[in-house]
Structures are given as structure tokens and as C-alpha cells.
């Protein structure tokens, strides 16, 4: 690396600290608000910190009224099921596409590749009718079904990883009498762990935060966390400091995951973007 001049180093910190302020300033009033009492909220500026940082009334209220706990569990179930199914199918498809030659291989790959031209938002008028005919509207299975599909980003991540697993491993197992399924299950899958983690992180964050799909299919009793937050927020009878507390609660799970997986997330996302 070229030596960084003093002025460059100073400029770097000035710019980065500026960027941190840019990120924090919009969030700060939300944090303040969540700890304020109703009268404090209406009488003080949003820039003023709360008098009592231990006022948890808003949080308790939000949990009790907002249906948020139940919604968070629903999101958890949807994520667990759809991510497992998606992961399984993505590794299966990638294994077949990487290790075998067969007629129609190009067609199958192209079919997956071309889906990146078809944004979800342009197909839902029809998909809704399909889900409706299947009787799945307002059932968790609708969202699970839509999330479980194999996408091309996942295939790319897996193919990259498969490149790194030597074919000799497969072949020696084959000679030892293992079936292809056995090879997939006991050689390929265990060696795909890093790619699987990357895919889980990317789609886990994406699905946890998704609003568009659950807002279309789960509008009644069964809600995901984003839909419940939106309902809560759209109800004008709810005092805004309570909404702020609910939102803050919504940030907590993703921040916990983030703190534990920071390295993975950073390199996973940057790496996925590269591939």
C-alpha cells in the first residue's frame, strides 16, 4: 500500500465521523422517544433526551397491545422453514448443475438465470390468484411457499463453493461404492457449509425485513413482524411514543444477530456481491 499522508488520514476520520453522524442522527430521536412519557413527548423537542432512561412503560405497552411477540414467532417459523427448504433445494440444484452433464442442462440453467429479469413485484397479480386457488391466502404456507424457491444468486454462491471441492473426492467415494445421493449427503453438503452460511445470512436478512410479500398474503390474524409493525404504526389511535418503542424492539433481534455475525455478514455480503 502507498503510504498514507497525514492529511489523508485526517480527512478519512473527518469523513467517516461525518458518515456516522449521518447514520445516527435520524435514529437518535426514535430512541429518545421510546423512553419518553406521553406528555413529555408532546412538550419536548425530538432532539431532547428523555428525562428517565428507565421508563419502560412504552415497551411493555407495545408488547402487550401490538401482537408483536406472536408476529415475531410467526416470522421465526416462516424463516426457519423456508430457509431450510430453500437451502436444501439450492444445494441439490447446484450439485446437479456442477457435477453432471445431461441433456437440457443449459435450458435448466438459463431458466434459473433469466428469473433475475422477472422482479417479484411484476408477477404478483397472477401469483395472488394461484395462491388464492390453492387456498393459502392468510396462511403462513403462502409466504413459505414463495420464499422457498431457488434463486440464481444462491446458485452462483453454491457453484463457487463447488469449484473448491475436488472432484476426486466424489470419484473415490464412487469407487468405494457410494451412491450419488450418498456423495451429495456426506461429501458435498458438509463441504458447502461456508456457502450455506452466506446464503442463510443474505436471504435471512432479506426475508426478515420483507414487507411486500407478507403484506399481500398475510393481512389477517396471522402476521409477520413487519406486517404487525405496520398495522401498529398505521393505527392512528396508537400514541407515537409507543410506536417508537415497538420499532426499537423490532431493531433488537436484527442487531443481536448482527453483533454475533458481523464478520460473516460483512464478507458474506461483499463476497456475494462480487460473485
Count of residues touching other proteins (by CB under 8 A): 94
What part of residues 159-178 is at the interface with other proteins (CB under 8 A)? Answer: 170-171, 174
3-class secondary structure for 25-57? HHHHHHHHHHCCCHHHHHHCCCCCCCCCCCCCH
Q: How far is the CB of 27 from other proteins (least distance, A)?
A: 6
Greatest alpha-carbon pair distance for the chain in Å reads 78
Contact 199, 157 (CB under 8 A): yes
Per CB under 8 A, the list member of 69, 76, 149, 239 interacting with other proteins is 149
Interaction with other proteins in 69-88: which residues (CB under 8 A)? Answer: none
Establish if 237 lies at the interface with other proteins (CB under 8 A).
no
Instruction: Enter the C-alpha cell of residue 229.
Output: 409493525
Residues 242-271 that bind other proteins (CB under 8 A): 243-244, 247, 250-251, 254-255, 258, 262, 265-266, 269-271
Q: Is 141 in the site for other proteins (CB under 8 A)?
A: no
The site map against other proteins for 1-30 (x = CB under 8 A) is xxxxx--xx-xx--xx--xx-xxxxxxxxx
Cβ atoms of 69 and 58 within 8 Å: the answer is no
As given in the structure block, the three cell numbers for residue 52 are 428517565
Quote the least distance from Cβ 253 to other proteins, whole Å: 11
Neighbouring C-beta atoms of residue 179, cutoff 10 Å: 10
Amino acid at each position: 500500500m502507498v503510504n498514507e499522508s497525514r492529511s489523508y488520514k485526517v480527512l478519512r476520520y473527518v469523513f467517516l465521523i461525518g458518515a456516522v453522524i449521518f447514520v445516527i442522527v435520524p435514529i437518535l430521536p426514535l430512541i429518545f422517544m421510546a423512553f419518553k412519557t406521553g406528555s413529555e413527548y408532546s412538550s419536548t423537542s425530538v432532539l431532547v433526551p428523555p428525562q428517565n432512561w428507565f421508563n419502560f412503560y412504552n415497551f411493555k405497552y407495545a408488547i402487550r397491545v401490538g401482537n408483536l411477540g406472536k408476529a415475531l414467532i410467526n416470522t421465526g417459523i416462516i424463516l426457519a422453514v423456508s430457509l431450510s427448504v430453500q437451502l436444501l433445494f439450492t444445494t441439490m440444484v447446484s450439485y446437479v448443475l456442477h457435477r453432471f452433464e445431461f441433456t437440457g442442462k443449459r435450458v435448466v440453467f438459463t431458466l434459473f438465470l433469466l428469473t433475475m429479469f422477472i422482479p417479484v413485484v411484476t408477477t404478483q397479480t397472477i401469483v395472488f390468484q394461484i395462491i388464492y386457488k390453492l387456498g393459502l391466502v392468510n396462511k403462513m404456507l403462502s409466504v413459505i411457499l414463495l420464499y422457498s424457491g431457488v434463486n440464481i444468486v444462491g446458485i452462483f454462491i453454491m457453484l463457487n463453493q463447488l469449484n473448491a471441492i475436488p472432484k476426486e473426492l466424489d470419484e473415490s467415494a464412487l469407487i468405494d461404492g457410494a451412491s450419488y445421493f450418498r456423495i451429495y449427503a456426506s461429501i458435498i453438503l458438509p463441504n458447502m457449509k461456508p456457502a450455506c452460511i452466506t446464503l442463510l445470512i443474505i436471504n435471512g436478512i432479506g426475508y426478515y425485513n420483507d414487507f411486500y410479500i407478507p403484506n399481500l398474503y398475510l393481512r389477517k390474524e396471522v402476521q409477520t413482524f413487519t406486517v404487525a409493525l405496520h398495522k401498529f404504526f398505521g393505527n392512528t389511535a396508537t400514541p407515537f411514543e409507543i410506536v417508537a418503542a415497538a420499532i426499537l424492539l423490532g431493531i433488537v433481534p436484527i442487531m443481536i444477530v448482527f453483533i454475533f455475525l458481523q464478520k460473516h455478514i460483512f464478507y458474506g455480503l461483499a463476497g456475494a456481491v462480487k460473485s
